[in-house]
Amino acid sequence: TRSGDVDPGLHRFLADNLGWSLAKIDDVLTRDSGLLGLSGLSNDMRTLVEAAETGNEHAQLAIDVFCYRLAKSLAAMSCALPTLDGLIFTGGIGENAAIIRQKTV
């Protein structure tokens, strides 16, 4: 459950101000961030969708941020193409989470 894009100065800030080692910073940014960090619940989209459907606001926030960042990346990449004929969603989230596809396009 990776963090995604972070400021390049973050590592230095965490080391200098919190005294974190590079191993600790790596662990936090690769294991405790992303969907898990936003939701405080899970890094599994299936769990987050179920929780959001029952009103879990943190799970909904993680889903919303995920879809926003995905849509933003798709829009940026599409600018480099002469035309965009369609999108293909693959992998576990892409093929199994219709709500993610709907919120992204």
The 10s digit of each residue's pLDDT in 36-94 is 999 999 999 999 999 999 999 999 999 999 999 999 999 999 999 999 899 999 888 88
Q: Which domain holds residue 72?
A: 33-104
Q: Is the pLDDT of residue 2 over 90?
A: no
- In total, how many domains does the chain have? 1
Residue 12 within any structural domain of the chain: no
pLDDT given at position 4: 83
Q: How far apart are the first and last CA of the chain?
A: 23
| Model pLDDT for residues 9-44, shown as the tens digit of each residue | 999 999 999 999 999 999 999 989 999 999 999 999
Nearest 10 degrees: Cα torsion 53, 59, 65, 66: -80
54 contact partners, CB below 8 Å, separation of at least 6: none
Higher pLDDT: 21 or 96? It is 21
Does residue 79 sit within a domain? Answer: yes
Task: Give the span between the Cα atoms of 92 and 90, in whole angstroms.
Answer: 7
Q: Is pLDDT of 1 > 80?
A: no
Is position 69 within any domain? Answer: yes
Task: Confirm whether 15 is domain-assigned.
Answer: no
- Look at residue 70 in the predicted model and tell me its pLDDT: 93
Are 5 and 70 a contacting pair, CB within 8 Å? Answer: no
pTM metric for this prediction: 0.84
pLDDT at position 101, please? 92
- In a domain, residue 91? The reply is yes
